[in-house]
A and B are shown apart, each in its own frame.
Chain A
Amino acid sequence: MPVVKGVSLEVQQGEAVAVIGPNGAGKTTLFKAIAGMLKPRSGKILYQGARIDGIRHCDTVKRGVVYVPAERELFPQMTVLENLELGAYTNYKSRRERLEFVLRLFPRLAERREQMAGTLSGGEQQMVAVGRGLMAKPSILLLDEPSTGLAPLFVSELYRQLSRLKAEGLTILLAEQQVPHALSFSERAYVLENGGIRLFGKSADLLGDPEIQRSYLGMV
């Protein structure tokens, strides 16, 4: 049984697009397929005009498609610095300049640079995960539930930094259950339910959509 079916979705360069929807709607499956961790049974995934479905996961990273999963998947027994450094594996020569960029974005990581990643708080681990993704110099960043397990203060802080990245021209595809954050951050959004797209449009319009307000924003 396919988890995601008949989904057609596009992201323009420099755009921030959100995919919202309940748990189990297929957001993660969709992202893993784009990142090359799952092979779609049918259909195509095009990136900068070339098909990327079916190519190996490590090769999508080389092309600049970088996935940051909700589970973060850090290296717990390595320092923050080592985690970040490995993020630059595909463009190791520019790691110093990338590191400077990431540490400017998340100054807290500079304080924690020699600490083992496994001993960080959830919020800090999320920063390492996003930071490690940025080290690869992505041209599109796939962010899966970046707010999972974070205190509300941290979520706002994270979205402030993501907005900075967007302003610098980074293309972002975001899956999120924190719908208000996701819709105010992104330009366009898709609502994914039961493996299919139920609604899509400008994020600002969706914020005002009565159905969205009822199902996702808790308004009556």
Chain B
Amino acid sequence: MIAILVDGIVQGLQLSLMAVGITLIYGLGGVLNLAHGQFAVVGGIATALFVEAGVNPLVACALGILSAGVFGFVVDRTLLLPAYRSAGEERLLLGLLITLGLSFVVNGFLDYKYPNISLTLKLATPSFSVAGITVRTASAVAAAIAIVAFILLFAFLKGTLLGKVVRSIIQNEVGAGLCGINPGRIRTLIVTLSAMMAGMGGVVQGLFSSLGTEMGNELTSFALIVAVVGGVRSINGTLAAGVLLGIVNAFASYYVGAYLTLIILLGTAVFTILLRPAGLFAYRT
């Protein structure tokens, strides 16, 4: 029981790592990123390639996460420009199409170029026990990575001027403009940061089990569900929703099997939206 719970929480944290990027990019840029799982895969596969090239695994992880960031930066500065030039519904739709197209391209490219590459990170000690509970080292490390990333993210958003600027744009882009803030630059920074967090999610996936080139769409779906349940503009909500759905996911896979899990997750999402239409911690002005 407790082992499943712990597993669920850790997996939930991993989901949150990816979902928070969807939340940030949507809140800041008005683009719902359908290629977010692909950001994670790019980060993970880059890590695998660095490991294969003989780079120290820890350094390879850092380089992989950085690669995801570079990828995000380039996408923001090139592909997404037409979407940013339009506004409102048009931007949302254009953003959906562009990122959907990007996901196809990334899937196709990786499948063609690296059909046999996957990321599997093995740790020296597979498990240890605390107070009678056996914990996989991978889970502990994954949880630590996610928790540190979130602490840093919250410290950034609450404690720094740039973080406050990010929150201000999410809450009111017009108001931010009145203060002399140029949303474009901040948007690029956030897309890059989100891509790096997604990359981290990809590396964590490799730590848990294995990350294959074909997993982009699956990761995007999970992250989207989490972002929607959390309220697509709330970062606290996304974190909570990730942990909640992670736990649901762990119990569902254990008791009813993996093939029904996604349906149960979607059911949970629909149920949450019916109860709280704008997400768990949503606010309205």
Binding site for B on A (CB under 8 A): 35, 37, 56-59, 61-62, 66-69, 71, 73-78, 82, 85-87, 89-90, 92, 118, 132-133, 136
Contact = CB atoms under 8 A, between A and B. Distances in A.
A58 B180 contact: yes
A56 B168 contact: no
A136 B168 CA distance: 16
29 contacts: A58-B180, A58-B181, A59-B180, A61-B179, A62-B180, A66-B178, A67-B178, A73-B172, A73-B174, A73-B178, A74-B175, A75-B172, A75-B176, A76-B171, A76-B283, A77-B171, A77-B283, A82-B164, A86-B176, A86-B179, A86-B181, A89-B161, A89-B179, A89-B180, A89-B181, A92-B161, A118-B285, A132-B179, A136-B179
Given A58-B182, A92-B161, A78 B168 contact: yes
Given A78-B168, A85-B164, 11 more contacts: A58-B182, A71-B174, A73-B175, A73-B178, A75-B176, A76-B283, A89-B179, A90-B179, A118-B285, A132-B179, A133-B178
Contacts of A133: 178
A191 B177 CA distance: 28
Nearest to A58: B182
Given A73-B175, A92-B161, A78 B180 contact: no
Contacts of B181: 58, 86, 89
Contacts of A62: 180
A75 B171 contact: yes
Contacts of B172: 73-76
Interface string B172-200: 10111111111000000000000000000
A82 to B, nearest CB: 6
B165 interface: yes
The range of chain B's interface size is 10 to 19
A62 B180 CA distance: 6
Contacts of B177: 37, 57-58
Query: What 6 pairs across the A-B complex have the smallest Cβ distances?
Result: A61-B180, A73-B175, A90-B180, A58-B182, A76-B285, A75-B171
A78 B161 CA distance: 13
A69 B285 CA distance: 18
Nearest to B180: A61
A78 B164 CA distance: 9
B204 to A, nearest CB: 30
Interface string B64-104: 00000000000000000000000000000000000000000
Contacts of A76: 171-172, 283, 285
A134 B181 CA distance: 15
B217 to A, nearest CB: 33
B153 to A, nearest CB: 17
Interface centre among B164, B172, B181 (most CB of A within 10 A): B172
A78 to B, nearest CB: 6
B164 A86 contact: yes
B136 interface: no
A87 B167 contact: no
B180 to A, nearest CB: 3
Contacts of A67: 178
Contacts of A77: 167, 171, 283
